Structure formats: structure tokens, C-alpha cells
Structure 1
Amino acid sequence: MITKEPATLFGRRLREARRSAGIPQDRLGIQIGLDEHTASARISRYETGAHEPPFGIACKLAGVLHVPSAYFYCEDDGLAKLLLHWQLLPKSERTKLVSIAESKLPSKGSS
């Protein structure tokens, strides 16, 4: 069976997250509340880019796949990877990371 490559960023990220979680399309669809007879086809359409789900559905997908919803929309691959790691960090480590990032920014008024 030939798998069509995702035509959209959302579709690519969804497929990556689903495969990483080891969840088949039909089961993912059912877990977010889709009808079992159409679940696989709907997830397939989201992955190929034929349709993009409403944000509420994207949030449900993110919840089941344990990724932040922003991951699906993140254009930068490095930032998308950071988002995946971010959610696993304790709050203290997140605070440290933000401080490091802020310290690397040019100070206001200097150009």
C-alpha cells in the first residue's frame, strides 16, 4: 500500500506524532470521539492535508498523542522539537530555559 505524503505542515506533524505514539489511524480517531466507521478516513484526510481539523479537534488529537497543540502548527522543525521536550520539563527547568533565551536577546535600545 502506498502512503500519500502529507501536503500540509499540520498533516506532517500529525502523522509524525501518531506514528511516534504507535497508534493506528482508526484508534486515534475513536479516542478523540469520531465515529468508528469513519475514524480512519478522517484521520487519513487530516494527515494528507485533504482537510484540516478545527482547533478543538486538534487539541483533542494533541491530548491523546501527548504533544502540545502548538506542535501541529509550528513551522520551524527545531522549535517543534523543543515544544515536544518543553512539556516534559519541570517548571523550574522551563524557567531556566526562558532565562537563558532572554539573556541571549539583544538589549532594547541597542541596534
Structure 2
Amino acid sequence: MAHPNPIPDRLKTARTKAGLTQRELGIRIGMEPSSASGRMNHYEKGRHIPDIDTLKRMADELGVPINYFFCETETTAELARLIANMTEEEQAELITNLKKNQS
């Protein structure tokens, strides 16, 4: 069952897609090797929620925008990831096209 808070599920999905273990991700964002796996497990299980600085380091390491972690569905999470990889010009064009389609 999905958590009411989307962060645990988004974190696990992004980490898995990146091909990293919980320990590897924890170490890469600056956690002590002895506690990295346990701390990451707590985040993915929803027992603890990372602070914003930790979440930002995770996002940077996993190549996703920080708002990815707050998306409630896989579809909106994927959209957030795709939009973040666009240039500002491409984003502006997308916004223009979306606004045209709402009229």
C-alpha cells in the first residue's frame, strides 16, 4: 500500500532506477557508511522523513528534481523529472502549448 506521504515511494523508485543500494545512496550523500543503509531504509519505509537539505542531496545524486519526491502519482513524478531535464526555452514552449490546450 502506498504511503499517504509520497516521499518514501518516490525515493525508493528513484534509487532503484539509479541502480543504487540504500547504503550506496546514503554514502554518496554524506552519511556514515555504518549507518547509511539503516537511515535510508527508515526513509523508504516512511519511519522518518529526510530534512530538506538531505532530500536535496538525494535529488541531486539521483538526477531528479526535488519536487519529484512530492508527486503523488508515478505519472506526475515522471512529468516532473522530464520537465526538469528540459531547457528553460523548452519549458516555456510547453507551458504555452498547455495553456492553448486548456482554452
Same fold (TM over 0.5): yes
Aligned partner of 2:44 in structure 1 is: 47
- Pairing of 1:65-76 with structure 2 (within 5 A): 65-76=62-73
- The runs of at least 4 aligned residues of structure 1 exceeding 3 Å deviation read 5-8
* TM-score in terms of structure 1 length: 0.83
How many residues get paired? Answer: 102
1:65-97 Cα offsets, whole Å, 9 max, x none, are 000010001124322111111122222211110
State TM-score, norm by structure 2.
Answer: 0.89
Structure 2: which amino acid aligns with 1:50?
A: R
Percent of aligned pairs with the same residue? 31
Unaligned runs of 5+ in 2: none
2:34 maps to a residue whose letter is: H
Distance (whole Å) between structure 2 residues aligned to residue 100 and residue 76 of structure 1: 23
Q: Distance in 2 between matches of 1:53 and 1:6?
A: 18
- Structure 2 Cα separation of the partners of residues 105 and 16 of structure 1: 31
For 1:80 and 1:15, locate their aligned partners in 2 and report how far apart those are by CA, in whole Å. Answer: 13
Deviation for aligned residue 1:6: 6.2
